[in-house]
Chain A
């Protein structure tokens, strides 16, 4: 169980970093194009298109990381006032609702991808990118997010079924996860033979 959790946080973290790297590269590419357009009058323009893929892919690839960081905001003002049992039930509902939405999104995104593939849809741009390419990567992120949300729901559900309200609260707050993530980071750093 602990091993699975470590694996999940490490994969989520590195997918999110890959997404961030895409966005950073998009910024560099766009800036480069503006300069060449201005100074050399070379009308390059692929950065606009590629950056939109970086946004779509980077976003879904960061969803699982944001979930593990408990960054998907909830309005818990009312919830805090309730007795522990109800609070736990709402924590569980929150996680289950996120998992459900992730599954619904992944299902429909898969449908969109299937349509793009069957039509051989290409972007109407100089690159004529086959849409299936960015949409495929986009779907990968969404599926991973759905899997992690389901896994997290199972953990909350187990704690809830055991009547462990403190456990549910801990799983639903950010702190425990951060520790896990630190561990995962140390682990990865060790394996890569680096420090920090």
Chain B
């Protein structure tokens, strides 16, 4: 059963059917093959329960929040401030790319929004300071991936929904790995520039007066962060409500920066709905597939199958990581997560791993998937804002950062407390 399902899934996806259609067809097919009960009669009810789920309301709201922030003008000031504070490091503005991505990630739940926003501000500066172009582009694509690790995070919300894990706990768990990964990215840049001095470029001019003067640029993102994340831990908003507050706060900030207008809002809505339509069709199809999979007892079968392999917990975890790394080269992270997490998480948890910790591992693997060629959404985003040259530059430039991500994954495997310490100490609702 496990083999049939997996082969069917890979065949349907490999034939380049749209992911949502592949999932739905797989579900209907497995229903035909493995059950005497016509499960498809429940499609309407099941699709409605997924479509009208309150936690999932936060997904389009976070996409909308990102689309508004992208057009609100807060990124320019944020980036300006980061370049004054971090530009003196070897690798100059590349550190500002990472720093600004980290700060923006704390307001945005999407990596695409983060890479697009910081990329739009940063790419015009590329030529002026003569950095190694590829590494510079790589730092934008990689920095953008922090969007889903540092809370808020659309991927953590979907993981929480799929596995019934507390989203506030997952958010807390994402903090330290988010900071650590940002620092590892910066160390990677410094190291690369030490090895190849030609990539170093010229440090942008700065002094303490302009550094201090640039600080107000950090206020807007900090406010959004406090509203979105603070409201959850202060106990007066659920993750979805906090997303709604974030949207309203972003509208107010955009108005404050004189960027709010009807055409701007329409653009933000169009971008949001394009992504929402894509995600929700997959969510709906995956939810029905999960229903079929649990009805035919696939999770148990998979459990037996993996136990039968005699890998032990460590070997199994390694297999899971390799599986995601390979899959991530070809699949978008969110569809990849929605398809695999409901089936794999129970097996991994059964083997003794913490579901919150596994959520962070999955997000790190999603981040890797965003930048591993040939299919990596952030590679496309960065190439998209750059608008010239070949995408190969981005693919090559991102390689050192893929190594950084692998190091980070190794760190949380060896030291799970990096993830679990904060949720344990702070508890959370």
Residues of A within 8 A of B (CB): 13, 16-17, 19-21, 23-24, 26-28, 30-31, 34, 37-38, 47-48, 51-56, 58-60, 62-63, 65-67, 69, 71-79, 90-91, 93-94, 97-98, 100-101, 104-105, 108-113, 115, 134-135, 138, 196
Contacts and interface: CB of A to CB of B under 8 A. Distances in A.
B277 A93 contact: no
B57 A31 contact: no
Contacts of A75: 13-14, 16, 19, 330-331, 375
Q: Across chains A and B, which 7 residue pairs bring their CB atoms closest together, nearest first?
A: A66-B277, A112-B44, A20-B269, A62-B277, A59-B280, A30-B244, A56-B51
Given A24-B64, A24-B269, A77-B375, 4 more contacts: A19-B273, A73-B19, A74-B17, A77-B374
22 contacts: A13-B270, A17-B266, A21-B269, A24-B265, A27-B243, A27-B244, A34-B244, A34-B245, A51-B244, A55-B52, A58-B276, A59-B277, A59-B280, A62-B276, A65-B277, A66-B278, A74-B19, A77-B330, A97-B18, A101-B24, A105-B24, A105-B47
B16 A94 contact: yes
Interface in B144-189: none
Interface string B12-46: 01111111111011001000000000001101110
B222 to A, nearest CB: 19
Contacts of B28: 104
A17 B276 CA distance: 12
Contact of A69 (B44, B51, B274, B281): B274
B48 interface: yes
Given A55-B56, A73-B335, A101 B272 contact: no
Nearest to A134: B52
A137 to B, nearest CB: 11
Contacts of A105: 24, 43, 47, 284
A90 B15 contact: yes
Contact of B277 (A16, A52, A53): A16
B15 A93 contact: yes
Interface in B271-297: 272-278, 280-282, 284-285
A24 B247 contact: yes
A55 B273 contact: no
B53 A73 contact: no
A97 B237 contact: no
**Residue among A75, A77, A93 facing the most chain B CB atoms (10 A cut-off):** A75
A16 B52 CA distance: 17
Given A66-B278, A71-B278, A93-B17, A27 B61 contact: yes
A168 B269 CA distance: 30
Contact of A31 (B40, B248, B277): B248
A72 B248 CA distance: 29
A179 B216 CA distance: 41
Interface residues of B, number: 62
B332 interface: yes
**Residue among B47, B240, B245, B277 facing the most chain A CB atoms (10 A cut-off):** B277
A26 B25 contact: no
Nearest to B22: A97
A56 to B, nearest CB: 4
A101 B41 CA distance: 14
Contacts of B375: 75, 77
Contacts of A27: 61, 64, 243-244, 247-248
Nearest to B248: A31
Contacts of A31: 241, 244-245, 247-248
Interface in B241-255: 241, 243-245, 247-248
B236 interface: yes
Nearest to B15: A90
**Residue among B40, B57, B245 facing the most chain A CB atoms (10 A cut-off):** B57
B305 interface: no
B263 interface: yes
Given A24-B247, A101-B20, A108-B40, A62 B52 contact: no
Contacts of A108: 40-41, 43-44, 47
Contacts of B18: 72-74, 94, 97-98
Given A31-B248, A55-B52, A108-B43, A97 B17 contact: yes
**Residue among B45, B266, B275, B280 facing the most chain A CB atoms (10 A cut-off):** B280
B54 interface: yes
Contacts of B56: 55
Nearest to B266: A17
B221 interface: no
Given A34-B241, A93-B15, A56 B52 contact: yes
B207 to A, nearest CB: 41
Contacts of B245: 30-31, 34
A104 B270 contact: no
A40 to B, nearest CB: 13
A165 to B, nearest CB: 15
B67 to A, nearest CB: 10
